[in-house]
Structure formats: structure tokens, C-alpha cells
Homo-oligomer: A and B are copies of this chain.
Amino acid sequence: MLIVQKFGGSSVANAERVNNVARIVTDAYRQGNEVVVVVSAQGDTTDDLIEKAAEINPNASKREMDMLLAAGEQISISLLAMAIEKLGCPVISLLGWQAGFETNSTYSSARIKRVNAERIRTELDRKKIVVVAGFQGLNKYDDVTTLGRGGSDTSAVAIAASMHADLCQIFTDVEGVYTADPRKIHNAQKLDEITYDEMLELATLGAQVLNNRSVEMAKKYGIELEVLSSMKQVPGTKVKEAIKMEKMLIKSVAKDTSVARVMIVGLPDSPGIAFKVFECVARAHINVDIILQSVGRDGTKDITFTVPAGDGEKAVDALKDLCDRVGAKSVAFDTDVAKISIVGAGMETHEGVASKMFEALSDNNINIQNISTSEIKVSVLIDKVDADRAVAAVHAKFFGD
């Protein structure tokens, strides 16, 4: 079996953890598998390097930043290879370009165009464990690029896709994907399986387990992912196409508190006004999520919508001119809101899922401000102070106390 294993920065943060990863990798190898390992930079290396750069030139070019940051994985792959050598297994470390990662030229957030896995194949045929630097590649000018934060997940899936791997294991500091954040909800349950689409909804909603691009790529190429712990040897959660009818209606309750709510008050109630508002926002490259349009009085109405927390101010700036022109009363934003979501492929064929969620919130006196739904998701916007209580209430309603 050909297995791709990916370990994040915290999994290789120090010598002891590097040795631990080496044990996991050599175990898989000694069971007769071909093993390709993708590693991120150690713990805080990336942040340390960014700090060094900022001291010298806060406006450094992205090309040089990528050159700098790529040193981080170079250190971690060679150290992991040394740890594997010590355990007596043949091994070789490869930089992004040596492993065949060809990317476009968007420095600091490059897209993988192709993985030419010839060299990896050759080394596997020599019975070696291959340790590959995640997060980095080479563009057509032969310059080093990086994929942006979380890119190592994508590196791993890209190798798995190009080599038709049987499994891609993403090792993290959690044991898998849960019905809710296990640090907050004591009886949160680990899921055995979840579909790509459900995982994508969860990733977008702030459950920081897997990088979104990596899930999209896994879905596109049909790569089975497994999210599991590098610290505890227990089965994790498999991410794959839905193959059987799921027993559980919903898979997980997620909370996202990095949301800003933008409110425009007193817009004239004329045709096309909503279009104009969202055209302004789109032009500023801001993603809009939940939208609420009030029924107006006195020929005016209000429009409220949510954006990522960091884009609140930008959205208000983008709308100021329009609001002045059409004579709106005010435009402002706040970040006192949280988005609570339930995700599950089962809900599209079952009625009453949304109302069960609303009931749980209502029973706990939590006011719902906005609602948004998709085929496999229901999201509500509530006061930020109620967020943890809301997750607990909804989780208890669906999964028991």
C-alpha cells in the first residue's frame, strides 16, 4: 500500500516529537507499506523567520519572503530523516522542487500546477522512506514559492493524487473530526467518517482541522483522507465520498466567532438597491455570508450581512459613497456576533432538522438574529456572548447530554 503521511509544525516542534514522528513513519514502513511523509516547518520556525524579516524590511518582496520561509521545512525534513536513519530505516529527504512541485508564480500563496513525482517514485523503488518538504514548490522561473499557511495539507494531498496513493493521513494535535469542539463540549463524539462536502463546510465554518484547498483537491481526485493524532495511536476520522446512508442526520456543530456584521440603516426602498450594495462589496473583494433584509417603513429598509471579521472596516469604507449618494441613514459594523452551524449530508433528506436546532436555542433563551441554509448546513447568527452556550445546547439536542 502507498501511504502519504502529513505532520504539521507542532508534531515536529522538538527533538522528542521528531523522534515520535519517526516511530509512526517507520511503523508504517515496517508493515510493508511504501511511505511518503510530508512535513511542515518546526513549531514556531515560520513565525521566527517572519520576525527576522520584519526587523530588516517590513515591506520585503514576497519572492524573498518565500525564499526565507522555505528554509523552515528544509530544517524539519532533514531532522526527521536523521531520526528515521537512527531507527534503522533507509530514508531520503526532498525539498519541494526535488519532489517535483511545480507551482504558478503567485509568491506566498502559490497554486500547485503539477507534481512530477518521478524522483519520489525512484526513491520508493529503492525501498526508501521519502520525506518531502510541504508548503513549497518551484515556479517556471526556477524560483522557490510557498503555498501559504496550511499549504502542507495541500502538498500531501497533491502527492497522494499524482501518485494514486491508497491513503493520505493528516496527523494533527486532535484525534479526528468531532461532533463539536472536544475542548468545550465534554461529550463531543469523534466521527468515524465524514464526506468531503461536510468537511468543506466545517473547514469554512472555523473548525480548523484541515486546510480547505486540500479537501477540495482530495474530493476532485477521490483521495481518501484520514485525520488523526500524532500523539495518540487511535483511529481517526476518514474523509471520503458518501457511500452509504449515514445514520447521523448531522455530523458536527461548529462555532465561528471571527465574523463581522455590517448594518446599513435607512436605505431607500427602491428597485435594485440591494444589487448596488452587494456590487460595492464584491468590488472590494469581500465575501458576504448571511444576508438579512428588513421590511421597511416610511419607504426605507435596512440591510444586514456578515463578512469575515477582518473585512468589516473595508466593507463599511466600500459602502460609504453609495450610502451618501442614496441618502441612507447610516452604515456601520460590529463584531459582537457568532455563527453557529450544524453540518451533515443527512439533513437534506430529513425535515425538521433546522427547527430542532432553533428549538434548542429558544429553550435556552438565545436569540437568533439571522439564518442561512444550504443542502448540508444550517447557520444562525447570534450574540457572541451566547456562542459557547449555543454550541452546548445544540450539541445536547442532537447528540444527547
* Residues of chain A having any CB pair with chain B under 8 Å: 15, 18-19, 49, 52-53, 55-57, 59-61, 63-65, 67-68, 70-72, 74-75, 77-79, 81-83, 85-86, 92-93, 95, 98, 119, 142-144
Contact = CB atoms under 8 A, between A and B. Distances in A.
B56 A15 contact: yes
Contact of A56 (B60, B77, B83, B119): B83
A143 B74 CA distance: 13
Given A71-B74, A74-B71, A142-B98, A64 B82 contact: yes
The count of identical subunits is: 2
A214 to B, nearest CB: 25
Contacts of A74: 67-68, 70-71, 74
A53 to B, nearest CB: 6
Given A15-B56, A49-B75, A56-B18, A82 B61 contact: yes
Contact of A71 (B15, B71, B143): B71
A67 B92 CA distance: 10
7 contacts: A19-B56, A59-B86, A64-B82, A67-B78, A68-B82, A71-B75, A95-B144
Given A71-B71, A93-B64, A93-B67, A57 B86 contact: yes
A85 B60 contact: yes
A70 B73 CA distance: 12
A75 B82 contact: no
A143 B94 CA distance: 8
A52 B79 contact: yes
Most-contacted residue by chain B among A49, A75, A82, A142 (CB, 10 A): A82
A52 B19 CA distance: 12
A126 to B, nearest CB: 12
